[in-house]
Amino acid sequence: MQKMPIVFDCDPGHDDAVALFMAVGSERFDLRGITCVPGNNLLDKVSQNALKLTEFLGLDIPVVAGCPKPLAQECHPAVSVHGASGMEGPHLPLPKKQLAKVNAIDFLAQQIREAGGELTIVAVGPLTNIATLLLAYPELKGDIKRICIMGGSAEGGNVTPVAEFNIWHDPEAARIVFASGVPITMCGLDVTHRLYITEPEVEEIRALGRVGRLAAELFDYYKMYHGEGGVHNVIPHDAVAVCWLLDPEMFYTRSLHVEVDAGSGLSRGCTQVFAISRDMGDDSVKAEVVFDGDRDKFVQMFKHCIANLG
């Protein structure tokens, strides 16, 4: 079967890391490169984490640092979730590899052109790089097959009551991306909160091998943010976006209008999801919004991909 060409735009990030493991372990993707964006932590930190991960996985692909800050505001690193390094927990050696000395936006454009209409962008961090790509290369919009996003929420936020972190970190960028007309899949909190991994399942993952051990160590730290009353399920948000591309049939997805609030009110960063467009007219842009999925199957697939990596 033909491998799906993708670029992974991310801010590693514990869940970015395990999403990357899932993508590589699935053996279904042709991963053309990784572009980094600040979100979980500042650009230099997340870029270093990305380099560490590619070295750990033995991947020889370009890792490119993108925009250093959101379009219209300052960075807000999620240190309480991901720690000081952005990927706190396991120790990974300093990378020997260096970041590719190329403009990340030019890199993305080149990948789009080379894939001849087949490139999917997996965007699991704030959408700063993606928006800048669409602004700087408007003529390539029609050549992007899909942007599969981890971000947003129809029903409620995490960083604010109405906003999910990735969208909240750069609402202007998100608004530009969702209004662009490029096919979009939105894997928001609605679905990711349902696809958790239990503590016993994390132990099964730990036993799968070298990569399983690393994933479990990442979860050991990351689970401290999730869970209440002694129960620490882990929610690997970004891995859901990868899983949707592997098997969309196991998800409950609906085509809906999504408008991002990039205003200055209390709802800043909210993805407004609605069925009947009011002033916009029905030909206005829709996204594939994912609401639910088969949790058991998700965990099974996750384990399968991790086991493949040894």
Partner 1 sequence: MDKRPFIIDCDPGIDDAVAIFLAASCDAFDIRAITSVAGNVDIDLTTRNALDLCHVVGLDTIVARGAARPMMVEPKISVGAHGATGLGTVVLERSPQAEDGRHAWDVIYDEAVKAAGELEIIAMGPLTNLGILLTKYPDAPRYIKKITIMGGSRVYGNSCAYGEYNVWADPLASDIVFRSDIPMAMVGLETIFRAKLTSSDWEDLFAEKNHISEITREILRHKTERGEGIMDRITARSDDPSPLLCDCMTVACVVDPSIAKFERRYVCVETAEGPSRGRTIIDWQNRSGHSRNCEVAVSVDRAGFKAVMQKMFAHYSK
The residues annotated with a catalytic role in the active site are 237
Question: What does the chain come to in residues?
Answer: 310
- Token pair 């709802």 in the structure block, residue: 267
- As beta bridge partners, residue 228 has 231
CA dihedral 82, 85, 91, 96 (to 10 degrees): 130
Smallest CA-to-CA distance from 212 within 33, 52, 69, 25 is with 25
Residue 221, burial from CB neighbour count under 10 angstroms (0-12, 13-18, 19+): middle
Tokens read off for 235: 């929610």
> Any idea what the Cα angle at residue 169 is, between residues 164 and 173, rounded to 5°?
105
Q: How far is the CB of 135 from partner 1 (least distance, A)?
A: 5
Residue 47 CA to residue 65 CA, distance in Å, equals: 6
Q: How far is the CB of 119 from partner 1 (least distance, A)?
A: 19
User: CB-wise, 178 or 298, nearer to partner 1?
Assistant: 178
Q: How far is the CB of 129 from partner 1 (least distance, A)?
A: 10
User: CB-wise, 103 or 198, nearer to partner 1?
Assistant: 103
Residue 182 CA to residue 231 CA, distance in Å, equals: 40
User: CB-wise, 61 or 109, nearer to partner 1?
Assistant: 109
Classified as helix, coil or strand, 59 is coil
- As beta bridge partners, residue 146 has 120
Cβ-proximal residues to 198 (8 Å cutoff; 6+ apart), any chain:
233
**Are the C-beta atoms of 159 and 262 separated by less than 8 Å?**
no
Q: Which chain residues interact with partner 1 by CB under 8 A?
A: 67-69, 71-72, 103, 105, 132, 135-138, 172, 175-176, 262-264
Q: How far is the CB of 67 from partner 1 (least distance, A)?
A: 6
- How many Å from the N-terminal Cα to the C-terminal Cα in the chain? 22
Q: How far is the CB of 217 from partner 1 (least distance, A)?
A: 34
User: CB-wise, 249 or 279, nearer to partner 1?
Assistant: 279
User: CB-wise, 110 or 233, nearer to partner 1?
Assistant: 110
